Structure 1
Amino acid sequence: TWRYSNKEQTKVSIGLQWTDVDLNKRTAHLPKTKNGEARTVPLSSRAVQVLQDLPHHPNDPRVFGTTYEGIHQAFVRACKRAGIEDLRFHDLRHEAASRFFEKGLREMQVAAITGHKTLQMLKRYTHLRAEDLAKLLD
């Protein structure tokens, strides 16, 4: 979802809104995504707990109380403080796809969560570790 900033007259993404989250169903609807198609994604029990613990201000529809740009800048600062180089916020999507496979999810399940339209693209995002695959063979 987008809004125009009053101060700068620029288009700003306001991100996930509470109206897009259903904690009872454990889902979040993403109306604007990288691939251009809206989708609804499942939430883990831990994610639901984190969302329940967030402050909810009645006049602010945003789940995280900030914009994507604000989250991005916080991520960049955290990486710098931690001495982490060459990590982009988008790299977390790669990591999540790999961990979903390690949890035993199948290709179509992971694609439904990550939004990849083709298995070829999903494969490019997935980096499985041989030692984790060995554990699945037992």
Structure 2
Amino acid sequence: MAVRQAWERLIVRAQLKDLRFHDLRHEAISRFFEYGLSTPEVSLISGHRDLRMLARYTHLRPADIAKKLRSISS
């Protein structure tokens, strides 16, 4: 209950009406993918057992994939 109350106070102070605690999890998992962690690595961190659910957090951008491929071939 203390965590929930602290979260609610934080939301009021920051004037963020639409932010949910789950949004932070989504952001963190998305960042792990951006940093180049593999799906099994992110799954281990996040606790996802179903890779289809974890795939919802991947926001692949063609430019990022091209950059990654260039770094491999260099």
Same topology, TM > 0.5 = yes
> Paired residue for 2:39?
107
Structure of larger gyration radius: 1
Helix, strand or coil at the partner of 2:37 = coil
Where in structure 2 are there 5+ consecutive unaligned residues? 68-74
Which among 1, 4, 7 is matched to residue 75 of structure 1? 7
Larger fraction in helix: 2
> Paired residue for 1:134?
63
Where in structure 1 are there 5+ consecutive unaligned residues? 1-68
Q: How much does 1:128 deviate?
A: 2.2
- Please give the alpha-carbon distance, in whole angstroms, between the structure 1 residues aligned to 2:58 and 2:44: 18
Which among 74, 80, 94 is matched to residue 26 of structure 2? 94
Aligned partners of 1:95 and 1:127 also within 8 Å: no
> Paired residue for 1:5?
none
Aligned partners of 2:33 and 2:58 also within 8 Å: no
| TM superposition score normalised by structure 2 | 0.75
Q: How much does 1:129 deviate?
A: 6.4
Structure 1 residue runs of 4+, over 3 Å off?
none
Helix, strand or coil at the partner of 2:21 = coil
Q: Percent identity?
A: 48
Higher relative CO (Cα under 8 Å, sequence separation at least 6) belongs to 2
Larger fraction in strand: 1
> Paired residue for 1:19?
none
- Please give the alpha-carbon distance, in whole angstroms, between the structure 2 residues aligned to 1:135 and 1:127: 12
| TM superposition score normalised by structure 1 | 0.43
